[in-house]
Structure 1
Amino acid sequence: MGAQEGAVGRRKDGGIEMVSKLPWQSGVVLGVAGYAAMRYGLGWFMTTFGGPTGQALGTSLADGVYAPVAWLMLIACWLAALISFLDSRRRQHLLAAQTGLRSLSAMDWREFEMLVGEAFRRAGYKVQEIGLGGDDGGVDLILQKDGNTTLVQCKQWRTKLVDVRVVREMYGLLMHHRADAVKIVAIGHYTDDAQRFVHGKPIELISGDALLAMVRECQAATRQPKQV
């Protein structure tokens, strides 16, 4: 189904925010390419193919009229690359710092969502973080993999069991947004009613032990030397 209608949390990002979601190396390359295109490439194109009007505009571009714009583009892309780099380092640190359920419980809710998102990202999913941006409507992450869309809710409850009401709400969101599956991630466990409700439905209940296993698998993969 792929959540084709009523997409969750769809909002327009600004330019810097869009680039900051890319690998930081991409931001560096985009900055250089954008600067070169605005500072030199556009003027050459207009002079060569733009006719009399384009030649006049191309001459002004060649004289550096839009050089400040080119510099702004370069700076914006490199700022986004820095944000991406720092964000990547923070996520790596969150993964490396986890030693058990106690460390999972010690994080604040934003860090917990980031950690869960990073674990799924390293499992091959494309991850969109919804809860970190504000009102989540019950959905914290959207996962994309193999053409399927999965909605994720994170519950960092230290002692309280996740009851069937939460699971029913997520099932309603799955139907409303026409997603393919739901995952609910909690540090603790689920009530018997919640576990009975998911039977035969595309809903996975991930407990703290299962999440910790995912995290440790990511940690082990990070420690393994890369094959040449």
Structure 2
Amino acid sequence: MTDMSEMTEFEIKKERAAQAVALLEDKYPDALCSLTYQNPHELMISGRLSAQCTDARVNIVTKELFAKYRTIAEFAAADLGDVEEIIKPCGLYKTKAKSVIGMCKKIMEDFGGEIPQTIEELTTLPGIGRKTANLIMGDIYGKPAIVADTHCIRISRRLGLTTSDDPAKTERELKELIAPEKSSDFCHRLVLFGREVCKARGQRCGECTLREICPSAEQI
């Protein structure tokens, strides 16, 4: 076991992060995205719809949406009012519908109908922020990615790995601590863990897999 007394604060965080990665790998061997999709553009659109909406509700809504509009080109030419009506249960439907059509138009016009393969290009698409861009980079392109969603931010802070509620800062801090090849799956596992155990309210510290390494255990 590593002697923590001889380690710097950063080294302690890095060791704790590695332990968290390993423990969550054991608890959740299959690190799968909770959004349902069959191809890259469906994940991109689902990621946009998931803002301030549960993944479960998004998955219900996209069954109809993806049955009606099957390609990026079809979404680019979609009727705004029709898309609004279908995605209404996701909330913020007017803004989201405009983003969905807008991102697909830009992909057709500027990227030859192919979803961009860098964070920088992805975030030029209407409605695509770093969270969804990282989701695409990790799940579609198999690249290192930190998806700083609400579960990732909350649990990382409780573990003492990060210091901010800001998604961009959380992403930067975790990039320094998590092995690149583990980063995307780690974030998926944090979602599962956050829903089942380390909840925003009613957290279950007594049965927590990470209790022994968590400085916030029983103190929240």
Please classify the TM superposition score into its range, dividing by the shorter chain length: under 0.3
Between Structure 1 and Structure 2, whose CA radius of gyration is higher?
A: 1
Larger strand share, 1 or 2: 1
When normalised by structure 1's length, the TM-score is: 0.24
TM-score normalised by length of structure 2: 0.24
